[in-house]
Structure 1
Amino acid sequence: MPLFRKKATPDSPTDLSPVSWWAAVKRSFGEFQDDALPDWAAALTYYSVLSIFPAMLVVISLVGLGGKGLSQDLITNVGQIAPGSVKQVLANALTELQRGQGGAGLVAVLGLLGAIWAASGYVAAFMRASNAIYDVPEGRPIWKTTPIRVAVTLVTLVLLAASAVAVVVSGPIARQVGDLLGLGSAAVTAWSIAKWPVLVLVASFLISLLYWASPNAKQGFKWVTPGGVLALLLWAAASAGFAFYVANFSSYNKTYGSLAGIIIFLVWLWITNLAILLGAEVNAELERGRAIAGGVPEEQEPYVEPRDTRGFDEDEMESLKALKRKDH
């Protein structure tokens, strides 16, 4: 028996009317404070710090399979995705991780597994934030959520490592192809421009994967979502604006001294997480718009069907039973 009425429910947000889209956008900004997105972004920044360095260890280990030269090239190119002082923090961390490698056997494997588990802490935190955004309790048991968080983490790390290798290796390959075809440096220039749309697609996929797997809400996977596109655009604009501010107007160095680079890095992580959360909020409100178009009252929560109710308490189950009775 379906949990909600499906009468005239649009198949996707693209089927919503312009009025419904505008209403979803307005609700998103209203829910920005109601769902405490700045606070969730701060919490996710904490988990980012705990997760990002183990994640970089895994990426460095995977990239290092192609030789130390690839790892060094990755460190050299990391500044292209991070502003100002953030670049130096990441580059220093990657250098230290590269120097710390060299273990072998069981200890190295256990260390890598531990790093993957630590990196998955961010996904676990994002799952809790997503449930708050979708106004749905977490009903999935731990034996179900744990494989999800680890799987999402593994896919993310493998794709990041593959992207890093592609960016590092493809430059020399483009140069060789250009020489063979008589294009010279034009081939390298063309690839330097073309690689960024490819990386944007990878980032869009990873954000969509996070949006799809995290909430306890039934929804189909989409390679590109409105919220994902918004998150990427906001992140790019906010990162550029923040880099400009730090370079020209900020007093971080005077205030924090030698800690300025770390503080700037933390603020940049907070901005990044806030953009991703706002994208998730937009997706959630578009789902609410679909539910409203299908006859569900605007104030009804949850407004999407949960994936699993086994972890619901008595009050939450009673609420679901009441919703089922409304369908008759």
Structure 2
Amino acid sequence: MNDADTASERAGAPAPDHPSKPEAPTDLHRRSWAYVLRTTVRQFSRDHCLDLAAALTYYAVLAVAPALLALVSLLGLVGNPERMVDQVVGTMEGLVPEDVLSVVTPLVENAAEGGVGAGLALALGLVLALWSASGYVGAFGRAMNRVYEIDEGRPVWILRPLMLLVTVVTVVIAALVVASLVLTGPVARAVGEAVGLGDATVAVWDVAKWPVVLALVAVLLAILYHWTPNVQQPHFRWISVGAVVAILVWMLASVAFGYYVANLASYGATYGTLAGFIVFLLWVWITNLALLFGAELDSELERGRELQAGIEAEETVQLPPRDTRASDKRQNRWRDDVERGRALRVASSRGRGDDDRQHATDGPRAPDEPRSTDTRT
């Protein structure tokens, strides 16, 4: 399988919702499913997803501090900041490893204790969070192009606004997820009293919030999977198979990693005071690995649909690009560089040939014999 096609090479691919393709994953044959599962694992390795997840981890860590600043500032507008910090930390205790929590807690507390007003801190945090998150979304789009074996063809004046829009939607959904987790116990009762809801409604919310959170995360992943790559996807799915699998893999991996850190690893002896931060980085890296695995599964499911429909997709997934202009421009520049390099090589070869012919005309000379000079007047 090729690493990537230029966008123009895929311009003639069949439509994403070609009538010959199976409409739903349940329409795939058992043989197709076996092929999809096998190639998902192999493509995950072939696309160097370990390295891609490391790059995504870098951008994710950059967005953590401003996101926490915006979160605590937002909560500070509706309640006591110190109480809200305790609620945020308490909610996270059962969701992330203890060493990860030891890194996040000081960041939340410092944001709450800052001297900047809550409104200004919220505005500053939102701007910084959007800027940092846009870097993550852009990197995720490049990773998705690798997954779908295509290069980026959208011009910058189209790509950047689209990525910014996806970033805004991503941040809003992420904020709703965090708010859903925080709105529990005393905080939920306080909000319920403020809007006129009774204790029964709050009790129902404490149970119903978990399906809501999972649905929001699945929608968030579906948006990232659908809009960031430079391929025309089949009709938008609010919850994709890859998104569901990514969530399940992330949950299982987080539990396993938490057990490993608590019972088997000795990061404290190796990294000392940096142990908590190292564990936090590893956990974010594992999270991104799960997201990329889900993306690979969606990509291979599309390949399975195409193969079952008789489309030649064994080498590359046959989805048409969203745009080819940037890719075509890069290809033209590359061809220009190749032609200039060829001209340079030919000119150098001709120069060496002239020197060789001149040497043959002069004939051989003894090592100490001086070169002949023209003494004609």
Whether these two folds match at TM > 0.5 is yes
Matched, 1:50 2:62: yes
Cα displacement (A) at 1:273 = 0.4
Give the corresponding residue for 2:129.
115
Deviations 1:59-90 (A, max 9, x none): 33333332344742223322232111111211
Give the corresponding residue for 1:213.
227
Aligned CA distance change for structure 1 residues 101 and 209 (closer, same or farther; 3 Å): farther
TM-score of the aligned structures, taking structure 1 as reference length: 0.85
Give the corresponding residue for 1:325.
none
Q: Which of 273, 295, 311 is matched with 2:326 structurally?
A: 311
Matched, 1:235 2:250: yes
Trace 1:149-188 onto structure 2 (pairs within 5 A): 149-172=163-186, 188=203
Aligned CA distance change for structure 1 residues 236 and 110 (closer, same or farther; 3 Å): closer
Letter matched to residue 46 of structure 1: Y
TM-score of the aligned structures, taking structure 2 as reference length: 0.74
| Equivalent position SS for 2:45 | helix
Task: Give the conservation status (yes or no) of the 8 Å contact 2:153–2:323.
Answer: yes
Q: Which has the larger radius of gyration?
A: 2
2:181 & 2:123 partners in 1: Cα distance? Answer: 26
Matched, 1:15 2:31: no
Matched, 1:222 2:237: yes
Give the corresponding residue for 2:292.
277
Task: Give the conservation status (yes or no) of the 8 Å contact 1:78–1:90.
Answer: no
Task: Give the conservation status (yes or no) of the 8 Å contact 2:73–2:118.
Answer: no
Aligned CA distance change for structure 1 residues 136 and 19 (closer, same or farther; 3 Å): same
Give the corresponding residue for 1:3.
13
Cα displacement (A) at 1:111 = 6.0
Q: Which of 254, 263, 266 is matched with 1:251 structurally?
A: 266
Q: How many residues align?
A: 313
Aligned CA distance change for structure 1 residues 154 and 57 (closer, same or farther; 3 Å): farther
1:46 & 1:174 partners in 2: Cα distance? Answer: 34
Q: Which of 57, 62, 65 is matched with 2:74 structurally?
A: 62
1:47 & 1:10 partners in 2: Cα distance? Answer: 37
Letter matched to residue 304 of structure 2: G
Task: Give the conservation status (yes or no) of the 8 Å contact 1:204–1:228.
Answer: yes
Matched, 1:92 2:106: yes
Task: Give the conservation status (yes or no) of the 8 Å contact 1:140–1:308.
Answer: yes
Task: Give the conservation status (yes or no) of the 8 Å contact 2:56–2:139.
Answer: yes
Deviations 1:83-139 (A, max 9, x none): 111112112211112223625888974664233112211111000000000001111
1:122 & 1:298 partners in 2: Cα distance? Answer: 30
Unpaired segments ≥5 residues, structure 1: 318-328
1:12 & 1:315 partners in 2: Cα distance? Answer: 37
1:57 & 1:107 partners in 2: Cα distance? Answer: 7
Deviations 1:8-45 (A, max 9, x none): 21223332222212211111011111100111111111
Aligned CA distance change for structure 1 residues 104 and 94 (closer, same or farther; 3 Å): closer
Task: Give the conservation status (yes or no) of the 8 Å contact 1:163–1:199.
Answer: yes
Matched, 1:203 2:205: no
